[in-house]
Every structure is written in C-alpha cells, then in structure tokens.
C-alpha cells in the first residue's frame, strides 16, 4: 500500500501550536514576510469579534508542518502558514509592549509586568537561565530572522528602518500597526482584557487545521491542494521551495539564493511557471500547467540537477522577458525584431516560445526571419482562422527539437516543419472575408494593427499602428441612429458593426465631424482623406451602405490580406 503523505491531521488552536514546548523554524526557501495592512486589518476584525463573543470560533486555514514530535528539540519546520504564525507572534509582542507601557505609567504596575512576562514565556520563548539569552520559539527565514530576533523579540526599534529589506520593514510596521489599534481599543487601558486578547481570543478561539508530514517532499503534494488564507504560496513559491529543499550546503544555498533572485527579477514572479513550462517544452512534447510540478520533480532530484536547471533557465531568461516587451533593451541590438514582437503581443499568442528559445540559441542570424514567420503563421491560424490551439504546442515543440538537434538549419527548414499550421491562401481568404474585431478595449490594438497593415498594402507606404495618429472609423456607426435601420435592421446591427469591412482609418478631426451622419455625407469626407482605405470606399462608391456593400468591401480586403500576410520560401 502506498504510504500516505500525512502523518497527522487535526484541529489545533494557536495555544496548541505555540503555547507548548515546541519550537518552529521557517525554512530559508520560504517566502519573506509579506502581509500588510489588508491582512492585518482582517485579522484584527476577526479577533475583535472573538474578544466580544467568548464562545465564538474562527477558522484560520491550514498549517503544514514537518518534524517529529519525539525529537529532543521538538522543532518543527513550517511548510505553510508562516505569515499567520509570524503575525500572531507580532500581535503578542504588541500586547506585551502595551502592558509594559501601562505598567511604566503606574497602571497596575506589578500585575501588568507579570502578565507581559507570562505572555512572552508562553508564546514567544523563555530566557536561558544561564546566558539570559532569549530562546525564541519561532525562527524566520534567513532574510527576516536576524531582524525579528534583534528588534521584534527585543522590542528594540531599528536605528534606520529603511536600511533593512522590505519584508523586515513590514515586520516592524506590523508591530506599530497593532500597537496603534491596541491603544485605540476600548480595552486598551485594561491589562486583563489586553492579556485575554492573546490567551483567549487568539490562543483558544482561532482554529487551524494542523497537517504534519514526514518530509518536505511529501509536503509539496499537500501544497498543490491548499489555498490558505491570506498570501498563500504561489506556484512560483512552490517550485522555489522544492528546488531549495534539494540544496543542503550553505555555500550552495547562498549561491542559489543570489541566482534565484536575479532570475525572478528578470522573468517576474508571476510569469516564472509559464517560463519554466516553455523551457521544458523544448525537450518534451507536452507539459501542462497541472503537471508542471510533477515533471519538475522527475527531472530534478539532486542538488546538481538544480544548478543544471538554473544554468539553462538563466540562458533563456532575458529572451523570455524581451518577448513580453517590444521595448526591451535586448532589441536595441536587434531592431528588426521589435515589430514582430509587438505583433505577437498584439495577437496574445505564446505557444511558439519554445521554438524561439531554440532559434535564438542555434539560428541567431535568422531569428528575425523566424519571428516574422511565427507572426504571419499566428495571424492566419489563430487570429483570423481561430483554429484549434491544442495543435500548436506539439508542433512548436517538434520545430524546436529540429533546430536543437541540428535538423532545421534555416528559416526555410523551420517553415517546412510548421507548414501544416500555415493556413493556405484560399482558406485564409475565406476566413478573412468573415473576420470581425471588437475595436474597443483589448481589441482596439488588434483592430489598429489590421487596419494599418491593410492601409500599408493599399497605399504602398508604411503605416505604423503604434505611431500613426489615425482613429478607427466605423462606416455603420457603433451607435447608429434610426436612419441606418432601413439597411441594417436594429436587431442585427451588432453583427455588422465589428466586421473589418465596416472599418477604416481616418484622422481624428474628420472622424469627430462625421459622427452618425448618413453614408452619402461620409463618402465626401472619405474622398478627401489621405488614407488609401478611405479613398478605396469613395472610389467604389456603393449607392448605399448595406450588408451587401459591406460584404463586397470585405471580400476585396480579404484578397489584399492574402498578400499582406504571406510566407513564401520558394
């Protein structure tokens, strides 16, 4: 029988966890402290309610621990739940500081000092009787723990808070934030009530699901089904934790931390899982988001594997970042690539990323050609044709492998490997004849791109959608008046407004002047326009603008589109 990943699952209070002889360690691979006002306020509201209703309970989510109860030091590693652990500990410190302030002001001096010391001993740690050094029950990760021990535990303000990492600044702001709330609370002058906020409301009325696992690797299985309260672990955190768990030597850990920080700064925390998935797709035909972590664990099992993976990721990180930003500094040296990157971003397609990784490494002199290739292919296949996207990743994987294996040595070779995805001229023309775009919101950028490309083809002059000041004119207005309903029944207007044959580029002043004027008035403005697309409508001069005229114009545009978006490696 397969071994269960859980050793013990039970309901526990904060007192069960922290009010005993156990101690807890946040692993260095865990994220830095990240809670802020929003989370502190939620916790304060919950505790304020519990303080007023002693019989109430509040569920705080799951806490994942690894460790063995009968070990001599009874130390547990916090795998998930550190944000809540740390915040509740800081709240306890805020209450201790408030009790000391009251005592120093002469309010119930002896009892309040005793209460403060009792809270510290029970929830934070006792002083060693010989060295008189605090033995903290909670230790944070490498970034946060020195500040936590030197300033939070000792309630000693830092000389210069700005000199510390942001997470440490948040730790101190948390202490100050709760201090202000305690001072303003109705019970802020009552030592007994302040103490009960911790010993009863926080320690007994907050409930956790305690999940104990026998090792960190099994904990990651639990991670995949947990969505704990507050700032839970992201997929990137999950991956990071696993990789760091494989590295044991301190010098290696320090190196990994430095390199990981640079990598995440390059590709961004939220984009890292996607980056890793496309990296793996260079060597595997299928890598789904849902099995990404499983595949990672299969491929990376030792510390050497971690650093080998890091080497590979670092080599591709700058390109990945640049493919998300057409103004990235990488394109300064490759200006011909910028236009195609901008197009791919407009199309919102990413499946070709493994192919681009491979081309960048093995065919750098042909990279701009391959960018153009995937841009045209994507426009025909995905944007206009709206064909099955599930076929793309296997095809791009195969094309990437062919480059990395040395089989594809030119842009022509790459095209041949992707030719099944290239929509033929006849099919593309038919697809484009029915093409429509909602030229508002996210679709506006795509509409400008298409109209600019058609304008360039019609006029023989470059029209850049990012710099040309044209606005999008709808021949049948987006909000037509009753005079248009003779040709376009009101109930069907929306089916025609967004057709590309109903749109053309026009200068802003002319567009504003036209408003909802009838078609005859619009023709006069089109005839005087500097844009070839508008002139084309005026030259064909249909007697009225109706569905038939729109279809005829779009059919003409479709033939132009075949030439504008074409790949020819003959």
The pLDDT, as a whole number, for residue 73 is 53
Q: Which residues pair with 76 in a beta bridge?
A: 24
| Rounded-to-integer distance, Cα 170 and Cα 167, Å | 5
In the block, residue with structure tokens 């009753």: 482
pLDDT at 474 over 80: yes
| Per-residue pLDDT tens over the stretch 482-508 | 888 888 988 888 889 999 999 999 999
Helix (H) or strand (E) segment spanning residue 144: none
Alpha helix positions (H), 486-569: 494-497, 508-514, 519-527, 532-540, 547-564
| Rounded-to-integer distance, Cα 211 and Cα 226, Å | 11
Q: Is 220 in contact with 4 (CB distance < 8 Å)?
A: no
The pLDDT, as a whole number, for residue 249 is 87
Whole-model pTM: value is 0.67
The pLDDT, as a whole number, for residue 3 is 44
| Per-residue pLDDT tens over the stretch 349-395 | 999 999 999 999 999 999 999 999 999 999 999 999 999 998 999 99
Residue 376: which region, alpha, beta or left (left: phi > 0; alpha: psi -120 to 50)?
alpha
| Rounded-to-integer distance, Cα 454 and Cα 567, Å | 16
> How many angstroms from the chain centroid is the CA of residue 305?
26
Residues 175-204: what's their mean pLDDT?
A: 93
| Per-residue pLDDT tens over the stretch 537-559 | 999 989 999 999 999 999 999 99
Q: 33: closest CA among 142, 108, 128, 135?
A: 142
| Rounded-to-integer distance, Cα 169 and Cα 33, Å | 9
Residues 495-522: what's their mean pLDDT?
A: 91
| Rounded-to-integer distance, Cα 54 and Cα 410, Å | 74
Q: Grade residue 229 by pLDDT with cuts at 50, 70 and 90.
A: very low
| Per-residue pLDDT tens over the stretch 440-454 | 888 999 999 999 999
Side-chain-facing half-sphere of 304: CA atoms under 13 Å: 0
Question: What three-state secondary structure class fits 11?
Answer: strand
pLDDT at 223 over 70: no
Q: Considering only residues 133 and 255, tell me which one the structure prediction assigns the higher pLDDT.
A: 255
Please tell me the least confidently modeled range out of 12-26, 437-451, 518-532: 12-26
Please tell me the least confidently modeled range out of 112-116, 199-203, 234-238: 234-238
The pLDDT, as a whole number, for residue 239 is 85
Q: Grade residue 214 by pLDDT with cuts at 50, 70 and 90.
A: low
| Per-residue pLDDT tens over the stretch 304-319 | 999 999 999 999 999 9
Q: How many CB atoms lie within 10 A of CB 6?
A: 15
| Rounded-to-integer distance, Cα 521 and Cα 355, Å | 50
Helix (H) or strand (E) segment spanning residue 243: helix 235-245
- Is the sign of the CA dihedral 450, 452, 458, 461 positive or negative? negative
In the block, residue with structure tokens 């001599």: 72
| Per-residue pLDDT tens over the stretch 39-79 | 999 899 999 999 999 998 888 877 888 775 545 456 788 87
């Amino acid at each position: 029988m397969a071994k269960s990943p859980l050793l013990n699952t039970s309901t526990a209070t904060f007192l069960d966890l922290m009010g005993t002889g156990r101690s807890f360690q946040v692993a260095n691979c865990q994220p830095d402290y990240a809670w802020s006002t929003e989370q502190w306020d939620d916790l304060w509201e919950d505790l304020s309610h519990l303080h007023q209703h002693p019989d109430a309970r509040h569920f705080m989510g799951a806490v994942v621990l690894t460790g063995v109860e009968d070990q001599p030091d009874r130390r547990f590693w916090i795998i998930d739940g550190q944000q809540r652990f740390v915040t509740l500990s800081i709240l306890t410190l805020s209450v201790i500081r408030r009790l000391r302030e009251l005592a120093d002001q002469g309010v119930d001096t002896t009892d309040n000092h005793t209460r403060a010391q009792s809270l510290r001993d029970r929830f934070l740690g006792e002083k060693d009787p010989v060295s008189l050094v605090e033995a903290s029950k909670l230790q944070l990760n490498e970034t946060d723990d020195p500040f936590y021990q030197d300033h939070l535990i000792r309630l000693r303000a830092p000389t210069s808070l700005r000199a510390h990492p942001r997470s440490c600044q948040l730790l101190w702001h948390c202490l100050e934030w709760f201090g202000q709330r305690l001072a303003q609370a109705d019970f802020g002058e009552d030592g007994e009530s302040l103490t009960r906020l911790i010993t009863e409301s926080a320690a007994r009325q907050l409930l956790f699901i305690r999940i104990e696992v026998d090792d960190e690797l099994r904990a990651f299985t639990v991670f995949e089904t947990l969505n704990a309260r507050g700032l839970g672990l992201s997929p990137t955190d999950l991956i990071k934790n696993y990789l760091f768990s494989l590295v044991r030597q301190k010098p290696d850990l320090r190196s990994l931390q430095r390199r990981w920080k640079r990598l995440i700064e390059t590709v961004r925390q939220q984009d890292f899982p996607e980056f890793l998935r496309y990296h793996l797709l260079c060597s595997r035909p299928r890598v789904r988001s849902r099995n990404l972590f499983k595949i990672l664990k299969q491929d990376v099992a030792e510390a050497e594997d971690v650093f080998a993976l890091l080497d590979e990721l670092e080599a591709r990180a700058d390109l990945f970042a640049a493919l998300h930003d057409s103004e990235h500094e990488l394109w300064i040296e490759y200006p011909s690539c910028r236009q195609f990157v901008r197009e791919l971003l407009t199309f919102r397609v990413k499946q070709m990323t493994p192919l681009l990784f491979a081309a960048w490494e093995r065919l750098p002199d042909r990279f701009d050609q391959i960018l153009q290739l995937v841009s045209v292919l994507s426009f025909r296949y995905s944007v206009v044709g709206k064909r099955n996207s599930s076929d793309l990743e296997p095809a791009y994987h195969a094309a990437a492998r062919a480059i990395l294996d040395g089989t594809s040595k030119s842009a022509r070779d790459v095209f041949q490997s992707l030719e099944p995805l290239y929509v033929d001229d006849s099919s593309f023309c038919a697809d484009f004849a029915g093409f429509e775009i909602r030229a508002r919101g996210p679709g506006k950028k795509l509409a400008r791109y298409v109209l600019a490309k058609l304008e360039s083809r019609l006029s023989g002059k470059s029209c850049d959608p990012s710099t040309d000041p044209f606005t999008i004119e709808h021949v049948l207005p987006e909000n037509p008046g009753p005079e248009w309903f003779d040709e376009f029944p009101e109930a069907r207007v929306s089916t025609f407004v967004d057709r590309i044959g109903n749109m053309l580029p026009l200068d802003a002043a002319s567009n504003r002047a036209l408003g909802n004027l009838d078609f005859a008035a619009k023709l006069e403005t089109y005839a005087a326009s500097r844009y070839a697309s508008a002139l084309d409508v005026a030259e064909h001069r249909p007697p009225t603008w109706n569905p038939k005229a729109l279809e005829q114009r779009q059919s003409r545009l479709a033939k132009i589109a075949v030439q504008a978006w074409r790949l020819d490696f003959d």
